[in-house]
């Protein structure tokens, strides 16, 4: 006789978090549907409706300064989505002169017809919230800087780079303070890496909860980062024998801190000031942040101001009461830095509707914090049969790669899944396999590092929904 799985018991705080995220996504979907344009070309290829143009923005009115600088405040209308300026479309653009160069104020804006936005988890205090990347709207491998997910513990500080500095001290030969000008004088490198919050998908342990891939996997983004290797800084200050850990500290109101293995920083740690060809966005740590390829997102300290070398970890709040993995046997994993191999189908995905049977190009992302993606498999029958997917580019180290798979849908119910294998041989597990290792004590026992296979069910009407299969 099959044993019944024990019910997951949520504490009051945990349940409020789940309920708030469900409500936030529901409002986002409702707003998107209310603002949807009646356009047959979008049917089946996008979520039901278009993205919200007003709500769930982490920073409202971000374009106001640009529009004002150009003297175009009158052009800023509710019709323009965030990051765009509204211009009246020409009846026939071949017979009318287009708008003037620099009509956007000198810093380019996106098209007014592109409406994708992040949506914010509605905490009582907006300063300690996070926002989610609309993965279903992404093209290629990189995330637009304006759509990169956010996680903040004390709000976004406004820092003058001319006054900002980074101190390196502790077990070093010579403690030094580096200005931004000092840091930019060092030889720079540019690397493409993803950053993923360890809490990505935290609502999905026990049962399918959120409807969209933005909700289930939106704490993932990939950028091209530019900065200085930590090893360069280390040579400048000199490291004493016995050093093993580094305290990285941010200049935000939370004074976010994490202990980082010195070995990791020397291997590939980056002191970053550039993102996707420009300076860091304020919400991404301007003017300086840490990037630790493959490590969980909370270790990539933003607004970086201090690095202290020690022989032992500092046991900060963020690595004791937070960012530990409770296991079913009552023990906990601490310093579980690596983000394991993972993948997700972004089209078709939750809350989409396929217009009818026929050909569809299944696509999504795969990634691993332990090197390169080796292969991705796709199943259309809930994992009974697997087929190799096509990787659309050569996998790069600790970077997302887009995959695709040609699917001829017969109009019958189907369950779509993807499975990533990385270059170490690690295979993305099913949820049951992961729970067998981590325990079945639910999302607020084992809350972090959910890298299980995601399932999307397609019914006969073409509706796509989040399921556990």
Say how far apart CA 415 and CA 462 lie, in whole Å. Answer: 12
* Residue 348 Rama label (left phi>0; alpha psi -120 to 50; beta): beta
In this prediction, residue 78 carries a pLDDT of 54
Say how far apart CA 394 and CA 353 lie, in whole Å. Answer: 31
In this prediction, residue 34 carries a pLDDT of 75
Q: Are 423 and 371 in contact (CB under 8 A)?
A: yes
In this prediction, residue 197 carries a pLDDT of 97
Cβ-based neighbour number of residue 362 at 10 Å: 21
Q: Who contacts 245 (Cβ-Cβ below 8 Å, separation ≥6)? A: 259, 260, 261, 262, 309, 310, 311, 312, 313, 314
Instruction: Give the closest residue to 197 by CA, choosing from 450, 19, 430.
Output: 450
Q: Who contacts 254 (Cβ-Cβ below 8 Å, separation ≥6)? A: 128, 152, 153, 154
- Radius of gyration for the alpha carbons in the chain, expressed in angstroms and rounded: 23
In this prediction, residue 15 carries a pLDDT of 81
In this prediction, residue 168 carries a pLDDT of 98
- Give the largest Cα separation in the chain, rounded: 76
How many degrees, rounded to 5, is the angle at CA 423 between CA 419 and CA 424? 100
Q: Are 165 and 159 in contact (CB under 8 A)?
A: no
H helical segments located in 128-227: 180-185, 213-217
Q: Tabulate helix, strand, coil % of the chain (nearest 5).
A: 20, 30, 55
Say how far apart CA 16 and CA 436 lie, in whole Å. Answer: 27
Domains of the chain: 12-129 (no CATH), 165-333 (3.90.420.10), 342-467 (2.60.40.650)
If the chain, 469 residues long, is cut into consecutive pieces of 10 residues, what is the mean pLDDT of each piece? 50 80 88 61 43 32 35 50 93 94 94 92 80 95 96 94 98 98 98 97 92 97 98 98 98 96 98 98 98 98 98 94 82 92 98 97 98 98 98 98 98 98 98 87 76 98 97
In this prediction, residue 10 carries a pLDDT of 61
């Amino acid at each position: 006789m099959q044993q019944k799985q024990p019910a997951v018991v949520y504490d009051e705080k945990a349940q409020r978090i789940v309920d708030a995220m469900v409500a936030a996504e529901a409002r986002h979907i409702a707003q998107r549907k209310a603002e949807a344009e009646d356009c047959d070309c979008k049917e089946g290829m996008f979520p039901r409706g278009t993205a919200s143009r007003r709500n769930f923005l982490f920073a409202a009115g971000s374009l106001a300064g640009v529009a004002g600088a150009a003297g175009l405040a009158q052009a800023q209308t509710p019709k323009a989505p965030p990051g765009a300026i509204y211009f009246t479309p020409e009846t026939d653009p071949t017979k009318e002169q287009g708008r003037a160069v620099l009509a956007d104020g000198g810093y380019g804006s996106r098209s007014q017809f592109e409406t994708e936005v992040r949506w914010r988890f509605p905490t009582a205090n907006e300063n300690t919230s996070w926002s989610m990347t609309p993965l279903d709207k992404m093209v290629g491998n990189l995330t637009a800087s304006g759509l990169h997910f956010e996680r903040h513990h004390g709000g976004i500080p406004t820092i003058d780079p001319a006054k900002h500095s980074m101190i390196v001290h502790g077990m070093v030969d010579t403690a030094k303070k580096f200005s931004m000008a000092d840091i930019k004088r060092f030889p720079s490198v540019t690397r493409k890496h993803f950053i993923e919050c360890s809490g990505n998908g935290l609502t999905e342990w026990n049962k399918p909860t959120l409807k969209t891939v933005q909700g289930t996997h939106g704490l993932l983004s990939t950028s091209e980062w530019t900065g200085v290797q930590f090893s360069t800084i280390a040579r400048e200050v000199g490291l004493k024998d016995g050093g093993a850990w580094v305290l990285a500290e941010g200049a935000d109101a939370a004074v976010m801190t994490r202990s980082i293995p010195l070995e990791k920083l020397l291997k590939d740690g980056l002191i970053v000031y550039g993102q996707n060809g420009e300076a860091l966005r304020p919400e991404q740590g301007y003017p300086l942040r840490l990037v630790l390829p493959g490590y969980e997102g909370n270790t990539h300290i933003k607004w970086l101001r201090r690095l202290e070398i020690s022989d032992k970890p500092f046991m900060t709040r963020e690595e004791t009461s937070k960012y530990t993995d409770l296991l079913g046997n009552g023990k906990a994993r601490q310093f579980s830095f690596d983000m394991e191999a993972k993948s997700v189908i972004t089209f078709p995905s939750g809350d989409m509707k396929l217009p009818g049977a026929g050909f569809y190009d299944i696509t999504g992302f795969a990634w691993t914090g332990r090197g390169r993606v080796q292969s991705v498999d796709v199943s259309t029958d809930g994992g009974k049969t697997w087929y190799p997917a096509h990787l659309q580019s050569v996998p790069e180290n600790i970077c997302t790669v887009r995959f695709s798979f040609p699917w001829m849908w017969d109009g019958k119910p189907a369950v779509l899944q993807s499975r990533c294998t990385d270059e170490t041989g690690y295979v993305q597990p099913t949820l049951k396999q992961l729970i067998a290792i981590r325990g079945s004590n639910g999302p607020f026992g084992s809350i972090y590092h959910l890298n299980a296979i995601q399932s999307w069910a397609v019914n006969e009407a073409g509706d796509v929904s989040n399921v556990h299969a």
